[in-house]
Structures are given as C-alpha cells and as structure tokens.
Structure 1
C-alpha cells in the first residue's frame, strides 16, 4: 500500500491507556492500541511514540496539594515511563520489536534518549517509545512530541484524542454550535487559543514546519487510515490545505 508518511510520531495521552476506567492502565485497551500499531508497522512505516502519564499522575494535582511544581512534574515523568514499559511489553507480545528511551536515565529498564540511536532503531524497523517527557519540569508531553519530531525529522505528529474526531471551535460536548475545522494553520491554533496542544508545542511545530493530524483514537483503524492519507480529523500545518 502507498502511504502518505514514512516516519511518524504518535502522541498518546496517558488517559488513552486507561480505557473506560479513566485511571491506571487497562490491559485490553493497551492491547487494542498495540494491534493497530502492528498494522501500521507492517506497512513499513517508521513509528515513534510519545506517551503521557495523566492516567497515573498529573503535575497539576501535586500543585493543588501544595507540592512544589518541579517535584510534581518529575513524578509525572516517572508515570510516563510506566506507561511506556506497558506499551512496549504489549507490542513485543505481538512480535513488534520496540525500544523505550527515557529523558531521565534509568538504565535498568530503558535506554537513555540518544537522538542518533533513536533514528537508527527506526531505520531498523523498531518502534521507539519516548518516555520521561523532555526531562525537564514545566514542559508537557505535547512539547516533547514536537521536540522529538523535529529531532528525528518526522513527517508528521499524529495527535490521537479520546472520543474527539478533530479540532472544534469550542468544546463539542458542551456547545452544540461548535464547528469542526477540516484544516488549520499553527498560527490559527495559537491565535484562537484552540486546545490542540500547548503554545510551546505549537510554536515548535510551526517553526520546524511539522504538520499535525488530530483524530479520534477510539475509532478502530484510524491510525492506519491517517498514514494512508485518508482525510479524517483535522490537519494543522503552516498553510491551510
């Protein structure tokens, strides 16, 4: 099959791994995501993944408890490592070779993030899972996705959302007049304050001319549809398509 993209970064929220539970790691959900990733991998696509940790811990929760923000963020980074290891195990049970690379070194469980090694893994057909965020507090995993996409020269960032099929002018769950955008520019996202990714991540994507496709993860087969070039979700780039 002819594919639209050759090297992609899939941004998964921590909540995506929690399934209907809303917290923790749901094995059935992780397996379903892994099976879809196997189908994409079998097309010869080079797949890298940035995973969040909100299903286990959020820095904002720590702040509400009076915890120092940096400390809370580091705990969130550790949560992303747990998610990455669960995803790696599920992929390898399906015979999809994978590597976890962390921004914070923990050599007993994962490789440290090394840009050239990550690219080499991708070239050898291994799925690379980036964990630990950027390794710095005050940055989200959205920013990690934009940063890693620029570093490994990814063709696109696939923003997989839970039960949201694109970018809307307002929250479609609370505003019946919310309209869906087929395409946007990064500048539109920033100026309109749309909740696609945080401003730092949007700026990074704009500066490095990295397109985004925002789509519904919960629709079976959507990851494969996106890489094959089907027009689903919302495309964000430096020029409207």
Structure 2
C-alpha cells in the first residue's frame, strides 16, 4: 500500500492560516530586546502609551512578515536593581523589584499588541499565574509556532542577572536566529556618538573585536553566552520608524556582531 505524501510546506502554511514567511526576511525567529527606558518616550519615568503603541506597531510589521518574535523588556523606567543596591538596598531584594518592573512593562506591551489584534503571551520566570504564564520551554516554543508573540518577563528569575542575560538565554532556548537590540543609536560605535561628533559606527564586528575594544554591546555574561552559541547580535535604532522591519530585510543602518 502506498502511503499519501505529506503536503509540501506551502500547502501546510496555506492550510494552517499562518502568514507565510516573507522571502525578504533574513531570519525566521528572532529575539527583540529593548530597555525599559525605551517605553518612557520624552518622560523621565514610567510608561508613555503612545511610545508603547509605536513599538507595538514595529513588532506588528515584522510579525506580518511571518517572522516568529520573542521579546524581553527591561525595567529601568520603573525600577533598576543596581541603582537600588547602590542606594543602600540589599542587592537581592533590589533585583527582585527590578524583575517585577519588567512584568509591568511586559503587560503594557501585551495590551498594546493585542489592541492591534496580535496574539501575545507574557511568560514570567517568577510564578504569578493570575497575570502571566510560568516559563515552560516546550509551551513557549509552541506559542511561537502558532505565531504568537512571546514576551519573557522577570528576567531569568534570579538576582544578579540582567535582562540582557535573560534575552540571550531565552533566545538560545527558543532557537532564535538572532538577537535584535533596540537602542537609542543606530549601531555600535567606537565611542559615545552623543558626546563625540567623530564617533565611528561599525557595520560588522566580531565578538572578539567587540571585547578587545570594550564596546559594551551588552553585559559581559550575556555577551559571552551569545558568543559561545554563535548567536548574532543586531544593534539598531528603535526610534526609527519601520527600522525593525527594514533591518530584518537587510536594509537600513545597523551593526551586526557575529563570529
């Protein structure tokens, strides 16, 4: 007896209701890491709803390309553990407070994305079942396969680790093909471009060159984890309209850090 052949990938995608991956997209599954400060807009603290919506629209434009998206958002717009520790608070307590701040930001981003009709899951490393799912790797992967945006909150669930490390860890666990670091500048420079007019931007740089030149792409633990797993880091300006989608298609201005 001859068994029927499985439908090809095009047929499967068409029948599943999922958007096919845009052939221009250089990656099929990515991690977007942004700081909590990115959600402040022109304010000095907290959340600026129009800014949160604008970032959600950037994510929407990439999600419509059929790309699977993970997100990690810092909590510095609400509370930063290191600053709390520097002011005399016990470090572990300060870091847990910072983790809770990331959950608040994740929920705000979820609300903005779902207002755009994008299915989203907030997945927390600290159990709080009433507001977020607990982190279970296989379940998170399944969400991505169903084209849901997964927002990983509460860092790694452990003090002394930054959200950079959480983003790199989750990116590796989710088999992401790259980490997109949304910054206030359009790449990695040899010095601060806001302070030095002669700052030079790198188009491409290796992990070892970034370490040797002390460029501080991300914190040391996160950077080592990316380098050891050969995970490319794309640094770009998050406030450039259409920038996330354009860079995913290989256009625009950015820096790629890779082996």
Per the TM superposition, whether the score is higher than 0.5 is: yes
* Structure 1 counterpart of 2:39: 17
Q: Does 1:191 align with 2:212?
A: yes
Output the CA distance in 2 between the equivalents of 1:232 and 1:61.
32
Match among 105, 121, 128 for residue 127 of structure 2? 105
> What is the Cα deviation at residue 204 of structure 1?
0.3
TM-score by structure 2 length? Answer: 0.90
Stretch of structure 1 that moved more, 37-46 or 57-66: 57-66
Output the CA distance in 2 between the equivalents of 1:156 and 1:39.
17
> What is the Cα deviation at residue 178 of structure 1?
1.5
* Structure 2 counterpart of 1:85: 107
- RMSD over equivalenced CA pairs, Å: 0.9
Give the number of equivalent residue pairs.
237
Which is greater in Rg? 2
Output the CA distance in 2 between the equivalents of 1:114 and 1:226.
30
Q: How does 1:91-170 map to 2 (within 5 A)?
A: 91-162=113-184, 164-170=185-191
Structure 1 runs (4+) greater than 2 angstroms displaced: none
> CA contact under 8 A between 2:121 and 2:133: conserved in structure 1?
yes
> CA contact under 8 A between 1:189 and 1:202: conserved in structure 2?
no
Output the CA distance in 2 between the equivalents of 1:37 and 1:231.
16
> CA contact under 8 A between 2:243 and 2:252: conserved in structure 1?
no
> What is the Cα deviation at residue 36 of structure 1?
1.4
Structure 2 residue runs of 5 or longer lacking an equivalent are: 1-21
Q: Does 1:36 align with 2:83?
A: no
Output the CA distance in 2 between the equivalents of 1:171 and 1:142.
20
* Structure 1 counterpart of 2:4: none
> What is the Cα deviation at residue 20 of structure 1?
1.0
Match among 203, 206, 212 for residue 182 of structure 1? 203
Output the CA distance in 2 between the equivalents of 1:158 and 1:109.
26
TM-score by structure 1 length? Answer: 0.96
